[in-house]
Amino acid sequence: MRYLEVFAVAALFAFTGPAQANATSNSPIKDGLGAYFLAPHPGGFFGPSDPSPPEANYRTAAMMKMAAPTNQWYSSLMFERWSYPLFATPVSYRAGPNGFEVGVPTPTVSQAKSGYKEVIWPHRAELTINPTAFKPVDARLAGHGDWNVKVEMANGSDKFDATILHGSPFSYYKITRGDVRLRFDSDAVIAEHGVPSGVASFVVDGHPYAVFGPSGCSFTWVSPREMILHLPADSGYFSVAALPNDSMQTIKLFKQHAYAFVTNTRAEWTYDAKTSRVITHFVVTTHAMQGGETTPILGLYPHQWFDQSIPGLLPDVFPSVRGTIKLLAADEFTTQMTYHGIIPFWPKLPAAVGGSRVDSLLGGDVAKMYGAFGVQGPGTYWIGKGLGRAAQLMDIAAVQGKAGEAQKLENMLTQHMEDFFSGKNSSTYFVVDRSIGTTIGYPQEYGSVSHMNDHHFHYGYWINAAAQVALRDPTWAAKDHWGGMVDQLVHDIATDRRGLKRDPYLRNFDPYEGHSWASGDEMMNDGNNQESSSEAINAWAGLIFWGAATGDDKLRNLGIYLYTTEVQAVDDYWFDIHHIVFAPNYNRVLAAQVFGDKYAYNTWWTQNPREVQGINLLPITPASTYLGRDPKYIRLFFDGLKKEEAQYASSGMSDGTPSDIWQDVFAEYKALAFPKVARGDWKSQGSSESGDSRTHAYYWIKSLQYMGEPDFGVTADTPLYAVFKKSDGAETYLAFNPSDSSIPVKYSDGAKLVATRHALTSMVVSAPGATPKISESKLN
C-alpha cells in the first residue's frame, strides 16, 4: 500500500507509539556479524525520534501472547476500539458502537474526468446485531484460523462473540446472557409461511437473510426494522446467513448446516516436485451446537474453482467483488495448481545474437550503480530497488564472463545490506519489535513502521539480492555471518508456524483469497488492499532462491506455494485473464489496485496509465515469466494502454512524467510473447525504471529472441527450471542446481538432462530428434 507522496513524506515523521526502551537500554543484539535493536533510536533520520509500530491493544489476553496478525483482511480489529469494515466476501461485517453490522455488498461504478475508474462493493449495515442485556465497550480480536476470525465484544464478564470467515454466507454468534436485537436499515420483508421452527427469514435491501436460533428460542418483531431473538438461558448461540435466494428449499438446506459452528480453518499445502504441482487442502473444524450435523457451507473464490475439479458444488452462487462465489457443503476441499518453474538467472547471451552489445552497455550501467542507491529515498524500499537492479546486473556480468564487473556489483550489494544489518549506523538499522511481533527497517518509507505497510514489497528485494550473493559467496550467507539478518526479514513476511510471539503466520499472505495484502493496520473503509502484485510475487521468488541458495528446502517449498498461488490469484483478480471477475462496464484491462471492497484503475501517486498498468509488472526478473502465460492478454494489455494514454493526454491531467516512462519494463513484458516487436519498442536512450537498467532490458529482450517465449506446457521434476520455445520448434530447457552433486532432471515432454552442481545447465534441442546442445552458466 503506497500512500500519496505527500502522505509518504508525512509518514516518515510519524510517531504513533511509545518507544519500548530508553536509549541506555537499547543495546544492539548480535545476530551473526550483524545486529538489531529492540526499539527505535531516539535520534531519527528525519526528526527527533524514529517511529514505533502501532499498538495493537484491541486483542484478548490470549491473542496478546502471540504476534499481532497485521496485513490481513481483519487487522483493523486490533488497532482501534471499533473495527473498520471486514470484507469476508460475499458478506461484509463491521464491529461498531451500535452492534455487529452485517451486509451483502452490491456494486457501483465510478469514473472521474481523468479516466480513474473503480468498481466498488461497499459495506452497508443491512442488519446490526447487539445484546439487549449489556452494551459492549469495544471489539477485540479473540482468535483466528487461516481464514476465520473470532471477534469478542464484551463488557466485563459479559461477552458477545462473532465468528466470520472468507467465502462463507454464515456468521456464528455466542452470548453469555440475555437476548439479542437485530435492527435493519430498511423495512424488512418478512417470510411468514413455511419457515422452519427456530428460523426467522426476511429480505432487507433486496438481500434475503435467515437467522437460525437454538431449540426453544422465539422471535418478536418489534417493527419492520427491529426484531428480538429470545434465547433460552442455557443456549446462548445463533447463526445468521445471507441467502442466495429466499426459497423455502434454500432456507431448509441452510438450516441443516446452520449449527455447524466453525471453530478453526487451515490451508495445508504440499509441493509435489515430480509433477510440479502445488496441492492445497482447505480444512474446516466445526462444533455441532445442536443436532449431529458438523458440515458447514463454504464459499469458493474463482481462483479456487476455475479449472479445478471440486465435487459437490451447490447450484446456487453469490456475486461478489472477487467474481462468482460458488457454494459447497463440505468441511474440506482440495485445489491443485501447476508450478511452472523459475530460475535465478538466465544463460550467457552469445556475442553474435546480442552478447557484444550487452558487454558494451554493462560498463556504463555498473558505473551508474554507484550513485543509484537511495536517490528516491533512504529506506528499505528504495534501497531495495537499488539492490534488485544491482543484483540483476551482477548476474548478467557473471554469465557474460565479466568477473571484475560482477565483483564490483557484489561489493555494492553487500555494502548496502551490511550498512543496515551491522547495527552500527544510527540512521539505517533494523528493530525486532516484540510488542507487535515484527522486524522493521529504519528509516521507514510509505508507513512501513507507523502503519506496518508493504513489508513483503520492501524485503522481497532484499531477500532476492541476498540470495544472488549467496549463490556466489555461501560464506557471506551463513547464519554466523550475514544470513541470520536476512532470515530476520524472511521470518517477518513468511513465518510458516502459527501462534508464535515472534512473527505472525504468513504476515502478508491471505491463504484463502490466495494473494497478499499490503496495509498493515487495514484502517480503511475499503478494507485492506494491494497494488503491486508483481512486487508481492517478487518476494515469494526471493524465498525460493534464498531457500535454494542456503539449502533450506522447507523455505524453498514455502516460496513455491506462495508464488504459485499468488500467480493464480493475480491472473484472476488483477488481470482477469479468464474473464470471470471484472464487471462488463469496468472497461479496463486490469485492476491496478485490489481492495477488500473494490478494484480500481489507479495508483496511490498518479493516474498516469503507464504507471497504473506498469506497477503490476515490475520488477522484471527471471521470476517474471508468469506474466507471459497468456499472449492474447498481452495484446489486450497494450491495446488498453494505448486507449488510456490517449484519454489521459486529452484530460489535461499530466503530472510531468516522461511520455515514455517505464518503456523498458513495457518492452520486457511484451518480449515474453513478441520479442522481435519488443526489440523495436525499446529505446536505449529512453526512460529507464529505477529498478532496471539498459543492460538488463537489452539482455532480457535479446535472450527471449534467442531462446523463444516461455513454454508453459512443459514442466520439470526439479524446483528451479524453465523452458522456452521458438516459433520454429526449437526448445531451450534450463535447470539450476544449487547442490553439491549433479542431479538428473526429467521434463514432462520426455526431455532429460543432467544438471551440473552449482550451475545453470542449458539444453537446446533445435528440432525433434536433433542432437541436444548443452552448456553451463555459473555466477562465479
Give me the active site residues, please.
454, 531, 535
* CA-based nearest residue to 405, from 367, 351, 371: 367
Spell out the residues 6+ positions from residue 650 whose beta carbon is closer than 8 angstroms to its own. none
Integer-rounded Cα Rg, in Å, for the chain is: 27
DSSP state of 483: I
Q: 42 CB contacts (<8 Å, ≥6 apart)?
A: 19, 22, 23, 48, 49, 50
Contact status, residue 442 vs residue 51, Cβ threshold 8 Å: no
Q: At what angle do helices 380-399 and 455-472 cross, to 10 degrees?
A: 30
In the block, residue with C-alpha cell 543509484: 372
Under a CB-based contact definition with an 8 Å cutoff, are residues 394 and 693 in contact?
no
**Pairwise CA distance, residues 558 & 459, whole Å:** 16
Q: DSSP label at 501?
A: S
Contacts of 307 (CB under 8 A, 6+ apart): none
Which 3 state secondary structure label does DSSP give 103? strand
Amino acid, res. 205: D
Distance CA 267, CA 285 (A): 12
The span from the CA of 101 to the CA of 279, in Å, is: 36
Residues 6+ apart with CB under 8 A from 25: none
Extract the C-alpha cell encoding 636: 489486450
Q: DSSP readout, 119-185?
A: EE-----SEEEEESS----EEEEEEE-SSEEEEEEEETTEEEEEEEETT-SEEEEEESSS-EEEEES
Q: At what angle do helices 533-550 and 455-472 cross, to 10 degrees?
A: 30
Residue of 74, 189, 73 lying closest to 127 (CA atoms): 189
Contact predicate 153/139, CB 8 Å: yes
Residue 241, strand partner residues: 170, 210
Residue 37 has phi, psi (to 5 degrees) of -120, 165
Closest CA to 721 of 275, 272, 341: 341
Strands 117-120 and 108-111: antiparallel
Q: How far is CA 43 from CA 50, 334, 380, 383, 426, in A?
A: 7, 52, 18, 21, 8
Q: Are 322 and 73 in contact (CB under 8 A)?
A: no
Buried b (16+ CB within 10 A) or exposed e, 688-716: bbbbbbbbbbbbbbbbbbbbbbbbbebbb
The set of cell numbers assigned to 519 is 496495509
Sign of CA dihedral 566, 571, 573, 578: negative
Among candidates 520, 398, 458, which has minimal Cα distance to 691? 458
Helices and strands, counts by H and E, the chain? 16, 39
CA 555 to chain centre: 17
Euclidean distance between CA atoms 660 and 684, whole angstroms? 12
Cell of 200: 426467522
Which residues are CB-neighbours of 570 under 8 A, at least 6 positions away?
Answer: 515, 533, 534, 537, 616
- Strand-by-strand arrangement of the 180-184 sheet: 86-87, 92-96, 99-103, 127-131, 180-184, 226-230, 218-223
